[in-house]
Structure 1
């Protein structure tokens, strides 16, 4: 272990000493609580099979578009980072590219997480990461990864993870989840999440073939739109039976639309034939968001929505490297009018939980907090993607609390594929919550006793409440 700032007990806490003391007292109440991760993208098979982690670059750099996008912006071609499965260079050379650019990550959220991983998980001295030490740091991490005690299941336990949700295709047989659930030696909960985007978006590659397979396998003999809806309902039920608590939707916008069956069937048929316009595709997706809410009222799955991202912004990069290669860009999104059809019918439905997320900070106080401040179904999604950074998390808490208080939020969402970053991300969130509450205590807006109750609720009870855990 080093004397890195990644081990400083005061990291991310207020600079003013009196407020910092309050924050440290609050943090002490939650920093050792188990991790509840109700939305993320870790592969359940990795835990089920307990396969050794890959090399340092394949684990920490190539699949992490937080990292590769900044390296690319500063001149490193994506093929030099093995993005999208490219193999032009060795993993060691990828690591060298990263080490040359390590200082470029100062001040970024990914830099904070990586620093914590390097120091607290792999025992590196982050101050010595450089082009000159690239090979030695690569070897040090590789040695740790080769340790038989550093396997996914042991790391899951070491990280103090209690609940970890994955993201799964509607036709996944969920065998990895079944294996974990039946294994008495594995004490955590790994929950599948129903993610039907590729079966709803007409422009998804292979849409018609995929949807037909869904209908054939789960449509109870029905065809067309009727078989499609029945198959969605059946597969959601299958997920519930295998432990799922939520369904996730990466919709283009927050728009919802209630269509009659004839109009929905007409759009569906156009989507299946490839003749739908962009406007028709958007209308069908908006209608299916309404339908997903209707299904959640019936089967109990929490509905989460992650809109407002222009996926695959650069055509040439998408053609060569595929999705999740670093060029997904946020755009302005509105919620109040867009969600009205859904909330008009289901916003007060008993047992319905709806968690809208955003990457548009302007809507936290203007739209999302007021919606959550009235509708019992609405829980405020935590700062997500480009906003899960220290200052943005503070802005989020300031923006929503005055309208909706502390009880209407989802708890922290790490939303990550980078398994080894999970504790660093949750630690950052807990420190930010302690900092925000400490300021309210110092300003005599709440008592320290009440702040102590609130921080435990935010960290532990809120995700359990919002995601029915």
Structure 2
């Protein structure tokens, strides 16, 4: 029998021997806890259809923008990695139709991922979940492809079965405010309520002036049954959609603006901008002003209906206009920028920050603001929780720096628990495992330095791995 690929059981734990021993104990205390995955981007249709994955490239390579962007940075084109062009895109190459060729390109370039969190996640996926016999290489690409293809045809590796194998207790998808939520309704009938839940994402609707905005506003009217011909109707339609999401099990909203600005506008100004936008006449600065205003409105709506507000500003979307034009959004060309929270959030926090009816989780891709702005805000306002390091920050070194920067000011219990933020379904357990190992190492150091007794470290580890996320994302009215 071929010996299976074995990973280092102490990977990502501290190197110092005595601290590592402590970390092993702490990690094992939480390693098998169920996963609470409250902010992901896996398509709900994957679970509703529950069909076998077509091939290894479709599962592991093409949807993973971390992986794709690394290969693109080395000269590969998106098309060579199986990414299809947008419908009608001019100048875009047709996507590679041979998934084995895509897989070979990945295996031949395994070395590119050395030292990256992507390498850690991929190793965990391939060795722990799919039980491949060896790490990828140019020499074994075809053999591994055949091995994994056979595994993916098994009933116990269909999407819903993998959800069980991964020990996912609850999974939240991220859904357009325009979604009819039919996939979630089907899954609730099949799995029971609250297992796979939607998250309300209104970004495209609150940023006026983009080409598709008038059509989306018309669609909002259709799906909500509320006339959106004026600003008041627009707000009423959004409230209606939020209620529909709550009925489908939603626990949160999600907002990915460039800025954290939450400055409200006078009603007359908001009405004027909305009216102008309906007529295709958006003035300079109106898009940004209206988006900031709508963040304030979303916060107010959260005080009314109980949805947790997730805010993650500071990313310049679609940095390459060519890639966006040819392949669309979410192709690895969203790049972080510096972001300011303290002044920008003050309007919302002055109004709602001390309210027991408002809950907001703040995320960033700018780690310079953890100790200067985010930890002090979370350490003072009862409505604020500090989100986990994610996206470009969910790496071992930056996760550790997050704990070092934030805990002394905000404590552990003003944070949200881990959020994996992935489109690559099979990477969910790998991301949670890495977070648990880094937290175990941080807690072990506190124990080794006499700053925390072991029994409290073990209890804190369970909170960080499981309980905090359930608390931070409690269902509305709970």
| TM-score band w.r.t. shorter chain | over 0.9
The correspondence of residues 378-397 of structure 1 with structure 2, limited to 5 A, is 378-397=384-403
The aligned counterpart of 2:180 is: 173
The answer on whether the counterparts of 1:99 and 1:134 sit within 8 Å (CA) in structure 2 is yes
Q: Could you say what secondary structure the match of 1:75 adopts? A: coil
Q: Does 1:429 align with 2:435?
A: yes
TM-score, normalised to structure 2, is 0.94
Aligned pair partner of 1:321 in 321, 327, 352: 327
Q: Does 1:246 align with 2:252?
A: yes
The answer on whether the counterparts of 1:311 and 1:328 sit within 8 Å (CA) in structure 2 is yes
The aligned counterpart of 1:454 is: 460
The aligned counterpart of 1:123 is: 131
Against the structure 1 CA distance between its residues 468 and 252, is the aligned structure 2 distance closer, same or farther, given a 3 Å change threshold?
same
Q: Once the 2 structures are TM-superposed, how far is the Cα of residue 224 of structure 1 from its aligned partner?
A: 1.2
Q: Distance in 1 between matches of 2:12 and 2:268?
A: 55
The aligned counterpart of 2:71 is: 71
The aligned counterpart of 2:89 is: none
Q: Distance in 2 between matches of 1:204 and 1:121?
A: 42
Q: Once the 2 structures are TM-superposed, how far is the Cα of residue 352 of structure 1 from its aligned partner?
A: 1.2
The correspondence of residues 52-201 of structure 1 with structure 2, limited to 5 A, is 52-85=52-85, 86-127=94-135, 129-183=136-190, 189-201=195-207
Aligned residues: 466
The aligned counterpart of 2:408 is: 402
Over aligned residues, Cα RMSD in angstroms? Answer: 1.6
Against the structure 1 CA distance between its residues 40 and 96, is the aligned structure 2 distance closer, same or farther, given a 3 Å change threshold?
same
Q: Distance in 2 between matches of 1:252 and 1:193?
A: 19
Q: Once the 2 structures are TM-superposed, how far is the Cα of residue 18 of structure 1 from its aligned partner?
A: 0.7
Q: Which moved more, 1:160-169 or 1:219-228?
A: 219-228
Deviations 1:402-431 (A, max 9, x none): 101100111100111111111111111111
The aligned counterpart of 2:313 is: 307
Q: Distance in 1 between matches of 2:109 and 2:382?
A: 47
Q: Could you say what secondary structure the match of 1:29 adopts? A: helix
Q: Once the 2 structures are TM-superposed, how far is the Cα of residue 247 of structure 1 from its aligned partner?
A: 0.5
Instruction: Structure 1: state its 5+ residue gaps.
Output: none
Q: Distance in 2 between matches of 1:222 and 1:445?
A: 57
The answer on whether the counterparts of 1:255 and 1:339 sit within 8 Å (CA) in structure 2 is yes
Large movers: runs of 4+ above 6 Å: none
Instruction: Structure 2: state its 5+ residue gaps.
Output: 86-93
The answer on whether the counterparts of 2:300 and 2:352 sit within 8 Å (CA) in structure 1 is yes
The aligned counterpart of 1:376 is: 382
Q: Once the 2 structures are TM-superposed, how far is the Cα of residue 447 of structure 1 from its aligned partner?
A: 1.1
Q: Could you say what secondary structure the match of 2:384 adopts? A: coil
Against the structure 1 CA distance between its residues 205 and 117, is the aligned structure 2 distance closer, same or farther, given a 3 Å change threshold?
farther
Q: Once the 2 structures are TM-superposed, how far is the Cα of residue 218 of structure 1 from its aligned partner?
A: 2.5
Aligned pair partner of 1:356 in 352, 362, 382: 362
Against the structure 1 CA distance between its residues 273 and 3, is the aligned structure 2 distance closer, same or farther, given a 3 Å change threshold?
same
Deviations 1:58-117 (A, max 9, x none): 111111110011101111112111224542442111111111111110110111100111
Q: Which moved more, 1:377-386 or 1:260-269?
A: 260-269
Aligned pair partner of 2:234 in 228, 231, 245: 228
Q: Which moved more, 1:249-258 or 1:118-127?
A: 118-127
Q: Once the 2 structures are TM-superposed, how far is the Cα of residue 222 of structure 1 from its aligned partner?
A: 5.8
The answer on whether the counterparts of 2:39 and 2:173 sit within 8 Å (CA) in structure 1 is yes
Q: Once the 2 structures are TM-superposed, how far is the Cα of residue 187 of structure 1 from its aligned partner?
A: 8.6
Q: Distance in 1 between matches of 2:12 and 2:134?
A: 17
Q: Once the 2 structures are TM-superposed, how far is the Cα of residue 376 of structure 1 from its aligned partner?
A: 0.4
Q: Distance in 2 between matches of 1:169 and 1:261?
A: 26
Q: Does 1:207 align with 2:225?
A: no
Q: Once the 2 structures are TM-superposed, how far is the Cα of residue 153 of structure 1 from its aligned partner?
A: 1.1
Q: Once the 2 structures are TM-superposed, how far is the Cα of residue 201 of structure 1 from its aligned partner?
A: 1.6
The answer on whether the counterparts of 1:119 and 1:125 sit within 8 Å (CA) in structure 2 is yes
The aligned counterpart of 1:338 is: 344
Q: Does 1:47 align with 2:47?
A: yes
The answer on whether the counterparts of 1:162 and 1:188 sit within 8 Å (CA) in structure 2 is no
Q: Which moved more, 1:205-214 or 1:291-300?
A: 205-214
The answer on whether the counterparts of 2:4 and 2:132 sit within 8 Å (CA) in structure 1 is no
Q: Could you say what secondary structure the match of 1:183 adopts? A: helix
Q: Could you say what secondary structure the match of 1:153 adopts? A: helix
The answer on whether the counterparts of 1:115 and 1:126 sit within 8 Å (CA) in structure 2 is no
Q: Could you say what secondary structure the match of 2:107 adopts? A: helix
TM-score, normalised to structure 1, is 0.96
The answer on whether the counterparts of 1:2 and 1:124 sit within 8 Å (CA) in structure 2 is no
Q: Once the 2 structures are TM-superposed, how far is the Cα of residue 278 of structure 1 from its aligned partner?
A: 4.6
Q: Distance in 2 between matches of 1:427 and 1:45?
A: 26
Q: Once the 2 structures are TM-superposed, how far is the Cα of residue 205 of structure 1 from its aligned partner?
A: 4.3
Q: Distance in 1 between matches of 2:333 and 2:70?
A: 10
Q: Distance in 1 between matches of 2:346 and 2:193?
A: 41
The answer on whether the counterparts of 1:39 and 1:414 sit within 8 Å (CA) in structure 2 is yes
